[in-house]
Structure 1
């Protein structure tokens, strides 16, 4: 190991930078390792972030990086392939290029991957632009415009009803799957949500802008955006070397993804390892992820202070 730090933060998004900032200000030696693949990169702006509404995601990260390094934190680009316990209170973090660094504690903020339905052409290419899932992120910008919800999961009715808060032009495309119950049909009708049978063949795009959905019958429905429910998969495979696995996350009895289990402060089942942001909470928006990074950093720093105190007392007694 070339260098050892008090804390290595794995992941440089809002949660990682939020945690690193607090730790650097606490005068801890901190290294942030970031693969440079932010989940929200396709989005034009961040919303619901008090004081930063409308900020481009890349700009927020640049501001955060400058703040972290301004307090003495270090940031490197790289992908972590494994993390191992190498002694009492010490971890080794190995990167894909062979580099390795040591750490007394780990803060994992690697986020998640949106696993999209593979059978609809164009969905992945337009994800985060006009193929969306979160009305709190994009609803205001699409207010009063036609929005289509693709029934790719049992939660499609829930999504259609939610989007109805922002626009009264919501259409649910059943896509030959996930037939609503009688009660759900009543709810959709009461909220003015149109329901369309038939399989979706693809998206209509003109001048790099989504214009509608095309059924296999050839019928086209004009739309400003399409809503697709992804499966949220935590980026945490490298933690397997520590014996830390992901668990399934459910909503209304349906699996919506995976996450690393942790307590309210971000501590995992492995002593010395904390998590924050979407790797632990798939539902967390950017401002929540940043706050979770701060919360985990404070708990982590308290743990280090307790260890430093024990070592100081042991050293005093041995003299």
Structure 2
């Protein structure tokens, strides 16, 4: 049987952002419900989450467990394992979060801390096996663990390709930008990259050669092979369904990627009853 709960704030997503927000609100004795599904989080492939003082190199699971223990000290915080299906307008200018089991939670504020979904390129064999290990999207997160290796920088922007030898010099002196042959400005970017100690190659990647997620070569669709140990590659991303639905349900201004615009008018003025 479904249930209905009233609180002050609902936080959708129990990653570092959502849990930090919960702790800050708990310190104000604010009543908070943190809703997070049982599915593996976006950073589950990472062998260690870095850059958080006191928890550097802790696994994502370790961080969540520690955060849960710390939040359990506060009587005003509830961690609820459920999937948030939608966020709607409720009476009195409040919000209603509908959960997958039919339960509902009304709140004065909703924090959408879901992050996004990384869409792995289905045509690239080995991408998922290397993801979060030797294929990284964030050098700040995993650059140290991939330092002093041969890096490939997968980009489709000439300016970024030209700057890649400089941008990643803190971690490696061996960079090759991998770009589409049709990329505007490709010849000038190659010249600039080589002048800075790097290089640029063009082609479509079809396969990553690896040993248990440890990359050692990139294969192109024409059969060429480029020896690389690390790829910096930000795949296409899509919005979490609950955020896309919230934009529609609440009439909030969103951009082309279905993200809430930072300059969007306050949502309580845009409720549709």
TM-score after normalising by structure 2: 0.84
Whole-angstrom distance in 2 between the partners of 1:258 and 1:158: 30
Would you say the 8 A contact 1:9–1:30 is kept in 2? yes
In the other structure, the counterpart of 1:112 is: 116
Alpha carbon RMSD of aligned pairs, Å?
2.6
Kindly tell me the number of residue pairs found equivalent between the two proteins: 262
Q: Which moved more, 1:146-155 or 1:1-10?
A: 146-155
In the other structure, the counterpart of 1:62 is: 65
Q: Quote how far apart the aligned CAs of 1:44 are.
A: 0.9
Q: Quote how far apart the aligned CAs of 1:159 are.
A: 6.9
1:124 alignment partner, SS class: helix
5+ residue gaps, structure 2, are none
Identify the match of residue 6 of structure 2 among 1, 4, 7.
Answer: 4
Would you say the 8 A contact 2:129–2:212 is kept in 1? no
Q: Quote how far apart the aligned CAs of 1:245 are.
A: 4.5
In the other structure, the counterpart of 1:213 is: 218
Would you say the 8 A contact 1:11–1:32 is kept in 2? yes
Greater RCO (Cα-Cα under 8 Å, separation 6 or more): 1
5+ residue gaps, structure 1, are 249-256, 274-319
Whole-angstrom distance in 1 between the partners of 2:196 and 2:157: 20
In the other structure, the counterpart of 1:241 is: 249
In the other structure, the counterpart of 2:46 is: 43
Alignment of 1:1-319 (within 5 A): 2-36=4-38, 37-72=40-75, 73-152=77-156, 157=161, 160-161=164-165, 162-178=167-183, 180-235=185-240, 236-239=243-246, 240-248=248-256, 259-262=259-262, 269-271=266-268
1:58-84 superposed Cα distances (whole Å, 9 cap, x missing partner): 111111112122212111111111112
Q: 1:153 to 1:182 in 2, by over 3 A?
A: closer
TM-score after normalising by structure 1: 0.73
1:69-116 superposed Cα distances (whole Å, 9 cap, x missing partner): 221211111111111222113222101221112212212211111234
Would you say the 8 A contact 1:10–1:80 is kept in 2? yes
